Amino acid sequence: MSSSLDKLKALNNRLEEKIGIENRVIPSVDEVVYMGESQPLQEKSEENPLRRANTERVAYLYEKLKIFEKSPDFDRIFIYKAMNLSGIGLKEEDFGQVREGKYIQIIAITYEPDKNGKKKAKNISLGYFGKAESLDERLKNEIIEFVLRWRYEKAFQNVEHYKDLIARVE
The predicted-structure confidence for 75-105, as pLDDT tens digits, reads as follows: 889 999 999 999 998 988 889 888 888 999 9
d(CA 162, CA 29): 15
Residue 46 lies in a domain: yes
> Looking at the 3D structure of the chain, how many domains does it have?
1
Coil, strand, or helix at residue 61?
helix
Residue 99 lies in a domain: yes
Residue 147 lies in a domain: yes
The answer to whether the CB of 113 falls within 8 A of the CB of 106 is no
Which pTM value belongs to this model?
0.68
Conformation bin of residue 47: beta by default, left when phi > 0, alpha when psi is -120 to 50? alpha
Which residue range is the domain that position 70 belongs to?
2-21+39-169
Q: Where does the pLDDT of residue 141 fall: very low under 50, low under 70, confident under 90, or very high at 90 and above? A: very high
Residue 26 lies in a domain: no
Residue 108 lies in a domain: yes
d(CA 1, CA 155): 10
Residue 31 lies in a domain: no
Tens digit of each residue's pLDDT (9 = 90 or more) over 95-140: 988 888 899 999 999 988 888 888 888 999 999 999 988 889 999 9
Partners of 83 in beta bridges: 108
For residue 2, the model assigns a pLDDT of: 58
What's the Cα-to-Cα distance from 80 to each of 22, 83, 87, 123, 151, rounded to whole Å?
Answer: 31, 7, 20, 10, 10
For residue 147, the model assigns a pLDDT of: 95
d(CA 162, CA 164): 5
